[in-house]
């Protein structure tokens, strides 16, 4: 498979395969990431592995079953995210800023289940072409397996992760289903970390396995039991964090073992 076919093959998916969320072998349907109603219905550039692919109807991929797509995400978790999106979209459009710190009541679990569910839809890590990966059973990689159990409601919390979040006012989408950061051999104080990244307006989620001793500045920690989130909308802070942490070359730049795992969508 040519590298530039990855984005195209992700969108195409397969007609029948193993759903990336529930793991069952079923007819697969096209998942919009984020939902169409959250500004994802128009022409976008999907960049994977530095190769660009144009999708005319938003960023989407046929990798999850109808039930997970419609019942789990569409008519349930997506609604919670859409509420958050609408609120921050109108905030962004209004020039009236009453406070930089926006506290928004949300069902944290629903937001997490929505975003992790859509992230799982993009996870086609494995050997060989995407079509073959989708026709084979899902590898039960620990972290992603925990996401699956949480999204389908088998567990109510993912105990071994820390979730950091911050305001992300940008249109571009950045997704990394799973990353590992190399040990910096020059400075062994920089820990080896692994986790996932989701950056979709209006929020960035940086998920790190708990055993990694990481202390981050300027970002907040999300608890599964939180009933609200607090977004600091200060523009210069947002600009500072625009490419954090995926930008290679900074202290926290992620050196990925598998760069085709980084999905960048320009919209
Ligand atoms: Zn499913």
Q: What is the pLDDT of residues 192-227, one digit of tens each?
A: 678 899 999 999 999 998 876 677 888 999 999 999
CA of 51 from ligand 1 middle (Å) equals: 29
**Average of pLDDT values for 1-22?**
86
CA of 73 from ligand 1 middle (Å) equals: 10
**pLDDT at 220 (0 to 100):** 95
Measured between alpha carbons, how far is 184 from 182 in angstroms, rounded to an integer?
6
Looking at the structure of the chain, the number of domains it has is 1
Measured between alpha carbons, how far is 256 from 167 in angstroms, rounded to an integer?
24
CA of 157 from ligand 1 middle (Å) equals: 20
Domain containing residue 134: 3-266
CA of 98 from ligand 1 middle (Å) equals: 43
CA of 261 from ligand 1 middle (Å) equals: 21
Over 50: is that where the pLDDT of 133 sits?
A: yes
Measured between alpha carbons, how far is 122 from 16 in angstroms, rounded to an integer?
16
CA of 75 from ligand 1 middle (Å) equals: 14
Please tell me the least confidently modeled range out of 11-20, 136-145, 205-214, 215-224: 205-214
Over 70: is that where the pLDDT of 185 sits?
A: no
**pLDDT at 254 (0 to 100):** 59
**pLDDT at 1 (0 to 100):** 47
83: pLDDT confidence band, cut at 50, 70 and 90? very high
CA of 121 from ligand 1 middle (Å) equals: 10
CA of 263 from ligand 1 middle (Å) equals: 22
CA of 120 from ligand 1 middle (Å) equals: 11
**Average of pLDDT values for 151-174?**
96
CA of 29 from ligand 1 middle (Å) equals: 9
């Amino acid at each position: 498979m040519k590298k530039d076919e990855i984005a195209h093959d992700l969108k195409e998916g397969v007609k029948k395969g193993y759903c990336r969320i529930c793991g069952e072998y079923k007819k697969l349907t096209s998942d919009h990431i984020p939902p169409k109603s959250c500004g994802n219905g128009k022409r976008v550039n999907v960049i994977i592995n530095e190769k660009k692919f144009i999708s005319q109807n938003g960023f989407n991929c046929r990798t999850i079953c109808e039930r997970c797509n419609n019942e789990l995400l569409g008519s349930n978790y997506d609604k919670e995210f859409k509420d958050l999106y609408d609120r921050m979209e109108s905030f962004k459009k209004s020039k009236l800023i009453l406070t930089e710190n926006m506290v928004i009541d949300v069902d944290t679990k629903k937001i997490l289940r929505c975003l992790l569910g859509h992230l799982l839809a993009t996870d086609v890590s494995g050997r060989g072409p995407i079509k073959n990966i989708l026709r084979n059973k899902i590898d039960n990689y620990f972290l992603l397996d925990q996401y699956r159990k949480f999204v389908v409601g088998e567990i109510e919390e993912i105990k071994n992760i820390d979730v950091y979040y911050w305001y992300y006012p940008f249109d571009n989408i950045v997704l990394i289903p799973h990353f590992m950061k190399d040990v910096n051999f020059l400075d062994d104080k920089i820990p080896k970390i692994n986790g996932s990244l989701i950056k979709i307006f209006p929020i960035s989620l940086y998920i790190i396995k708990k055993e990694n001793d990481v202390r981050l500045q300027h970002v907040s920690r999300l608890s599964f039991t939180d009933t609200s989130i607090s977004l600091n909308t200060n523009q210069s802070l947002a600009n500072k964090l625009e490419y954090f942490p995926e930008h290679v070359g900074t202290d926290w730049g992620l050196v990925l073992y598998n760069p085709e795992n980084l999905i960048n969508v320009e919209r």
